[in-house]
A and B are shown apart, each in its own frame.
Chain A
Amino acid sequence: MSGTRTIATTRSAMGIPTGRLAIWWVLVSEIVIFGGVLVSYVMHRLGHPEWAVEAAHTNMWAGAFNTLVLLTSSLSAVLGHQAAEQGNGPKAARCLYLTFLGGLTFLIVKSFEWTREIREGFTIQAGGFWSFYYTAAGLHAFHVMAGMTIMLWVASSARKNQDLHRVENVGIYWHFVDIVWIFLFPLLYIAK
């Protein structure tokens, strides 16, 4: 990497390195995507009080455990960022690997949860509530998978002390995924 640096590192717009500005732009579009789904769910939930009967079948403890897992993975992501700020690439990489493990745990719990629900007949076609449930949680799980993939890629270069600015960028994305789940948890698991 000596001699050349990526534009995302050397160029800045609005006083922000372009790599980080790009992440914020991505998140703004993600707010519109998730916001659309969540707002649609809220208005339909208020219009369909009978959905409470369906919502009673979601496993609150699994949802709570997954919330704890994501909050903890956010902690390791921000500790990775802190290590990158101090120029400690190997430590930043280790933190990102831990974040990856958090994402993996989240997906495993989710897969057990969905298997049980589908076996009980609560498929995506079982009603309006379940359509929203699988769409919102599925879209979120897809973002977790995307974040995990990028995390491995960033960690592999951070381990060699290369492109450490990316540690913060992937961290910002991961925290956003965490925030989306913070709202999905009460909407899908607590409001019954």
Chain B
Amino acid sequence: MSAHAEAHATQHSGGHATHHRNYVKIWAILTGLLMVSVLGPMVGIRLVTLIAAFGVALVKAYLVAKNFMHLDIEKPIVGWLLAVALILMVVLYAGVAPDVEKSKGQGWEKTAGYHYMSRQAQGEAKGAGEKAKHNEPGTSHP
């Protein structure tokens, strides 16, 4: 790089050095992790699905933030700002989740019609239930 181009680059970018990283390699790792998150649920084990889907998503997000957004060499104030926003997310969840996820609490109870389903889903759920009934041992099939 010429001295002029170097000065130009530093002036314009604020000094984030990007040329030390192998971005294609990081992209290849991200693609591999994507394959894991797609293939994981095919195993059919709930825990494997959860790890493959959400665990891998966390790793992918970390890799993008660290290597593509250069969060690891960014000034600490940025990390603090992001942390405040993420903490607000946790506070929102902790404050509201019990009311949303529980069926009853102190002085309130969700009525039977609370869990809304579309007509298609109702039909499919009914069909799946009948199918399971037919498959029960000892049930005679017409």
Contact = CB atoms under 8 A, between A and B. Distances in A.
Interface of A: 9, 12, 14-17, 20-21, 24-25, 27-29, 31-32, 35-36, 38-40, 42-44, 46-48, 50, 53-54, 57, 60, 64, 67-68, 71-72, 74-75, 77-79, 81-82, 84-88, 120-122, 126-128, 130, 161, 163-165, 168, 171-172, 175-176, 178-179, 182-183, 185-186, 190-192
What DSSP secondary structure best describes chain A's contact surface? helix
Interface in B97-136: 97, 100-102, 115-121, 124-125, 128
19 contacts: A14-B77, A15-B77, A16-B74, A21-B78, A24-B74, A32-B88, A43-B96, A43-B101, A47-B101, A54-B118, A78-B23, A86-B1, A86-B9, A87-B1, A128-B116, A161-B8, A164-B12, A182-B64, A186-B56
Contacts of A24: 74, 78, 81-82
B5 interface: yes
B98 to A, nearest CB: 9
Contacts, number: 188
Interface string B86-101: 1011001100110011
B85 interface: yes
B13 interface: yes
A60 to B, nearest CB: 7
A57 B117 CA distance: 14
B14 A168 contact: yes
Nearest 6 A-B pairs (CB), nearest first?
A87-B5, A186-B53, A35-B89, A31-B85, A164-B12, A17-B14
Contacts of A85: 9, 13, 16-19
Contacts of A43: 93, 96-97, 100-101
What DSSP secondary structure best describes chain B's contact surface? helix
B11 interface: yes
Most chain A beta-carbon neighbours within 10 Å: one of B19, B23, B118, B119: B118
Interface in B35-81: 37-38, 41, 49, 52-54, 56-57, 60-61, 64-65, 67-69, 74-75, 77-78, 81
A165 B12 contact: yes
Contacts of B68: 74-75, 77-78, 171, 175, 178
